[in-house]
Structure 1
Amino acid sequence: MEALKILVVDDEARMRKLVKDFLSVKGFSVIEAANGEEAVDIFFEQKDIVLIILDVMMPKVDGWETCKTIRQYSQVPIIMLTARGEERDELQGFELGVDEYITKPFSPKILAARVDAILRRSKAVTSDDLEVGGICMDRAAHQVTIDGKNIDLSYKEFELLAYFLENQGIALSREKILNHVWNYDYFGDARTIDTHVKKLRSKMGDKGDYIKTIWGMGYKFEVKE
């Protein structure tokens, strides 16, 4: 199977090498770009890039403008990589259609885990079975077990849990959850998500604590170490 191709965009050669070396060990094919202008040219020249890791602060064309340009033509997953950690910057990233926002300094292992999660969600990497923190999901059989015990979930609870498992460690806005679990044609109140999360947590017992609330935004599924 041909290695999945990831574009890493950062004006710091040392940072590009760090990310490239780690992802290459994980079996990905990594292409580098030193600025946004170069990144856009590479992206449209090579049609099989499955994910972009994009720095914000760069010369010529910054990450925001690069993201805007690419989003006009493609929904390829984008991870913003930046030294800025303020909430308004993160919100701007999500408004532009960024899939994840990671603040420097970061753990390469966490970055690789989030790359894998995003690619699973985008169907670049697929599997019918999910297993995280003692939670086992067989999507083909529509069955979930926690520590070996079956739990009874409604259809939407099952889909919601699957979405959380696929996106472990990733902050998910209520809008994203609605769009992916309830689909774009759902016109109800976003509070329906809170109701389903409450029921799901209850059925999961102690494992329900893995679903963290991000106040004012949504939720994040995070397994305790």
Structure 2
Amino acid sequence: MKNLLIADDDHHIRTLLRHVLTREGYLVLEAADGREAIQKLKEATVDLAIVDIMMPHVDGLQLCQYIRGTYDIPIILLTARQQLSDKEQGYLHGTDDYVTKPFEPEELLYRIKALFRRYSIASDDKIRLNRLVIDRKNYEISDGNDVLLLPVKEFELLAQLAQYPGRLFSRSELIELVWGTDYEGDERTVDVHIKRLRQRFIDYQDDFIIRTVRGIGYKVEMISP
């Protein structure tokens, strides 16, 4: 079930969207301004944000820019503005789509579903572990602020485990998947690489842990916020 964040200072708009989106099976988080929205993003995993431009404290464009620089989620700007220059600013600040008030709820639903399809295709090479995003295409791991570069086998081992959170992999499976069927070393190399990964990510234990299942192998478990 996907979490959607609605950031809008209009209580009636938030109520309408909450009704429409929960009816479609989404979980809805609400924020009355950009500052509250940032706090909601820090407290829970959000899969898509619907953001009004005109908000107090932190406006929609600032919030959009913050989200784009920190999270890899779709953004829809919701606004009464119709000028082309306003839409241009929205896209320059990182929005994926733009819906002008007044709007039909069904149209917004179509756009949400289309964005999820687009992001699903685009994110095939990306794996999220709460704050961390593993980019398998570029061999990078980002926490939203810094990019972490790992030795190739450590990266591939973590990506393999993280792609299937909760699934137990035996040492022999990991050897075959990461090192290949022609690897001539023994399975203890998995233990060595797991130890290194735990040391590297000791500051991210609130996001995920690598669990040892004695006598079998390892699995990644995500930590619920």
Aligned partner of 1:189 in structure 2 is: none
**Letter of the aligned partner of 2:115 in structure 1?**
I
Equivalent residue for 1:25, pick from 23, 26, 46: 23
Matched with 2:133 is: none
TM-score (norm 2): 0.53
Q: Which has the larger radius of gyration?
A: 2
**How far is 1:70 from its partner?**
1.7
Q: Structure 2: which amino acid aligns with 1:19?
A: L
Distance (Å, rounded) in 1 between the aligned partners of 2:104 and 2:58: 26
Counterpart of 2:113 in 1: which secondary structure? helix
Q: Which residue of 2 aligns with 1:12?
A: 10
Which of 120, 124, 140 is the aligned partner of 1:123? 120
> What's the offset of the Cα at 1:75?
2.5
The answer to whether the aligner puts 1:37 opposite 2:49 as a matched pair is: no
Please report the TM-score for the alignment, with normalisation by the length of structure 1: 0.53
**What letter corresponds to residue 50 of structure 1 in structure 2?**
D
Structure 1 partner of 2:152: none
- Structure 2: which 5+ runs fail to align? 124-225
Equivalent residue for 1:130?
none
Paired with 2:5 and 2:71, the residues of 1 have a C-alpha distance of 14
Deviation at 1:80, TM superposition (A): 0.1
Q: 2:51 aligns with which of 47, 50, 54?
A: 54
Partner in structure 1 of residue 90 of structure 2: 93
User: Hey, what does 1:103 align to over in structure 2?
Assistant: 100
On the 8 A contact 2:62/2:93 being kept in 1, the answer is no
Aligned-residue offset at 1:113: 0.7
Give 1:60 deviation, angstroms: 1.1
SS of the aligned residue for 2:35 comes to helix
Counterpart of 1:123 in 2: which secondary structure?
Answer: helix
1:76 aligns with 2:73: yes
2:88 aligned counterpart, secondary structure: helix
Deviation at 1:44, TM superposition (A): 1.6
Q: Deviations over 1:157-202 (max 9, x none)?
A: xxxxxxxxxxxxxxxxxxxxxxxxxxxxxxxxxxxxxxxxxxxxxx
Between the aligned partners of 1:116 and 1:70, the Cα distance in structure 2 is 19
Count residues with an aligned counterpart: 122
CA distance in 1, matches of 2:88, 2:28: 27
Give the Cα–Cα distance (whole angstroms) in 1 for the partners of residues 107 and 7 of structure 2: 18
Identity of aligned residues (%): 41
Can you list the C-alpha shifts for 1:52-71, whole angstroms capped at 9, x where unaligned?
Answer: 00000011111011111222
CA–CA distance in structure 1, aligned partners of residues 2 and 72 of structure 2: 16
Gaps of 5+ in 1: 127-225
Distance (whole Å) between structure 2 residues aligned to residue 60 and residue 21 of structure 1: 26
C-alpha distance in 2, partners of 1:13/1:59? 14
- The question of 1:63 aligning with 2:60 is answered yes
CA RMSD of aligned residues (A): 1.5
Deviation at 1:43, TM superposition (A): 0.5
SS at match of 2:19: helix
Q: Distance in 2 between matches of 1:29 and 1:77?
A: 16
Contact in 1 for aligned 2:77/2:90 (Cα 8 Å): yes
Give distance in 1, aligned partners of 2:83 and 2:99. Answer: 11
Amino acid corresponding to residue 98 of structure 2 in structure 1: Y
